[in-house]
């Protein structure tokens, strides 16, 4: 008989709780786990552990917690700090998926004799005859689809990943299932913030967890004209208009940064639009290497619309993206994710643009 034992990552929320129920109904032997990642975070605190364990108890399945605080700091917190220290805007959820939920959790699953891991993400995996491999795809959840934040997971484990919520398009459907099955997390609100910055104040987090401190410098135009002073480069994001504290004849936006000169560079909105983008730290899920230009749809941030583009791999770790139409506020540190139809082709981290 095929090994149907699955290790399910549980955050104590309604998505992962209903995932446990659905997997159980599909005949899987479910083991629930909550990873201890960061003290005080929204996804691994005492309430999280209690809610997840209570759901598992109600379903009659085991639940374990495992301490991975050291690994979380090494791979996620340190990367978060390093990005801001180098004028980049990180997406820590993507790093967490790569190293924690689909990294150490998969290794733990193998230790426990599980052939699968599962999470409450809105995404889909299936075998593609066309590509002769397991593929990661969009779910039916529309705007709530989370395939964007999963592009960096190792491609060799996709065939061992289950997303029980792949077919559901409406979060209220999930809550209804939870209520009908008396799961006590049915009305628990979603967590929208970075888990280790639950109050949303990432600037304070950086100052309290690193040696990053405000360092006053000049706000300059793209021509080098000095317009005012900034309060530290990490306090600003590309595309920002408000809170610059400068006056000018036309609205100005943050275009980028000069770390060496400690400058915030501003300009008119038309200067925010870029056609060519370079990414590194790439992960290709459909092919091992791009040997010729490929037409794809690209997402530059989780909430962004898809944009038509051509991608070409320039070396082992760099891909050049050329968009059909210029894109606004391209941000180094964020992820560019490539799709062909509803399949995730791969992705990379933005390093520069022109």
pLDDT in tens, 60-77: 999 999 999 999 999 999
CB-count burial class (<10 Å; 0-12, 13-18, 19+) for 287: middle
- Is the distance from CB of 200 to CB of 41 less than 8 angstroms? no
- Is the distance from CB of 299 to CB of 331 less than 8 angstroms? no
CB-count burial class (<10 Å; 0-12, 13-18, 19+) for 134: middle
CB-count burial class (<10 Å; 0-12, 13-18, 19+) for 146: buried
At 118-145, the pLDDT tens digits run 999 999 999 999 999 999 999 998 889 9
Over residues 185-193, mean pLDDT: 84
**End-to-end Cα distance, the chain:** 55
Nearest to 66 by CA among 80, 76, 55, 52: 52
Token reading at 174: 């999930």
Residue 191 pLDDT grade (very low, low, confident, very high; cuts 50, 70, 90): confident
C-alpha to C-alpha distance for 200 and 193, rounded to whole angstroms:
6
Give the max Cα distance, the chain: 73
Query: What is the DSSP code string of 30-63?
Result: EEEEEEE-STT-SSSSHHHHHHHHHHHHHHT--E
Domains of the chain: 5-180 (3.40.50.620), 214-267 (2.30.30.280), 273-353 (2.40.30.10)
Classify the C-alpha dihedral 245-248-251-254 as positive or negative: negative
Over residues 106-114, mean pLDDT: 97
Q: Which long-range contacts (CB under 8 A, 24 or more apart) does 314-320 make?
A: 314/278, 317/280, 317/281, 317/282, 318/278, 318/279, 318/280, 318/282, 318/348, 318/351, 319/278, 319/279, 319/280, 319/282, 319/290, 319/348, 320/276, 320/277, 320/278
* Known catalytic residue at 83: no
Over residues 156-161, mean pLDDT: 97
CB-count burial class (<10 Å; 0-12, 13-18, 19+) for 283: middle
C-alpha to C-alpha distance for 74 and 351, rounded to whole angstroms:
22
- Is the distance from CB of 274 to CB of 354 less than 8 angstroms? yes
Bridge pairing between strands 318-328 and 161-162: unpaired
Over residues 243-264, mean pLDDT: 96
- Is the distance from CB of 76 to CB of 100 less than 8 angstroms? yes
Task: Provide the pLDDT for residue 2.
Answer: 62
C-alpha to C-alpha distance for 236 and 89, rounded to whole angstroms:
10
* pLDDT at residue 354 tops 80: no
Q: What is the residue-averaged pLDDT of the chain? A: 95
Task: Provide the pLDDT for residue 174.
Answer: 96
Nearest to 177 by CA among 4, 14, 2: 14
* pLDDT at residue 1 tops 50: no
Identified catalytic residue from 44, 56, 93, 96: 96
Which pTM value belongs to this model? 0.94
Over residues 72-85, mean pLDDT: 97
Token reading at 163: 């997303």
Which residues does residue 273 pair with via DSSP β-bridges, in sequence order? 328
Nearest to 52 by CA among 63, 41, 60: 63
SS3 of 328, please? Answer: strand
* Known catalytic residue at 195: yes
Task: Provide the pLDDT for residue 46.
Answer: 81
């Amino acid at each position: 008989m095929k090994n149907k034992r699955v290790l399910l990552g549980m955050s104590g929320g309604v998505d992962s709780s209903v995932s446990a129920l659905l997997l159980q109904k599909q005949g899987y032997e479910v083991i629930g786990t909550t990873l201890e990642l960061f003290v005080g975070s929204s996804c691994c605190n005492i309430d999280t552990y209690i809610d997840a364990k209570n759901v598992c108890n109600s379903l009659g399945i085991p639940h374990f917690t495992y301490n991975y605080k050291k690994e979380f700091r090494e791979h996620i917190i340190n990367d978060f700090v390093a990005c801001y220290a180098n004028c980049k805007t990180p997406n820590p959820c993507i790093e967490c998926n790569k190293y924690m939920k689909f990294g150490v959790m998969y290794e733990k699953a193998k230790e426990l004799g599980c052939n699968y891991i599962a999470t409450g993400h809105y995404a889909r995996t299936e075998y593609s005859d066309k590509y002769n491999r397991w593929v990661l795809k969009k779910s039916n959840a529309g705007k709530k689809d989370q395939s964007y934040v999963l592009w960096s997971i190792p491609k060799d484990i996709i065939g061992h990943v289950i997303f029980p919520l792949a077919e559901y398009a409406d979060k209220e459907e999930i809550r209804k299932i939870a209520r009908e099955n008396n799961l006590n997390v049915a009305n628990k609100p979603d967590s929208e913030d970075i888990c280790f910055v639950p109050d949303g104040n990432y600037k304070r987090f950086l100052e309290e967890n690193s040696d990053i401190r405000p360092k006053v410098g000049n706000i300059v135009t793209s021509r080098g004209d000095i317009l005012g002073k900034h309060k530290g480069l990490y306090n600003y994001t590309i595309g920002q208009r408000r809170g610059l504290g400068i006056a000018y004849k036309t609205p100005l936006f943050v275009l980028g940064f000069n770390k060496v000169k400690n400058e915030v560079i501003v300009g008119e909105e038309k200067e925010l639009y870029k056609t060519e983008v370079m990414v590194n730290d790439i992960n290709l899920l459909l092919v091992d290497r791009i040997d010729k230009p490929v037409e794809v749809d690209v997402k530059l941030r989780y909430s962004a619309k898809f944009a038509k583009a051509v991608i070409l791999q320039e070396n082992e770790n760099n891909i050049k993206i050329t968009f059909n139409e210029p894109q606004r506020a391209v941000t180094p540190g964020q992820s560019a994710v490539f799709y062909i139809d509803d399949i995730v082709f791969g992705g990379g981290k933005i390093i520069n643009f022109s």
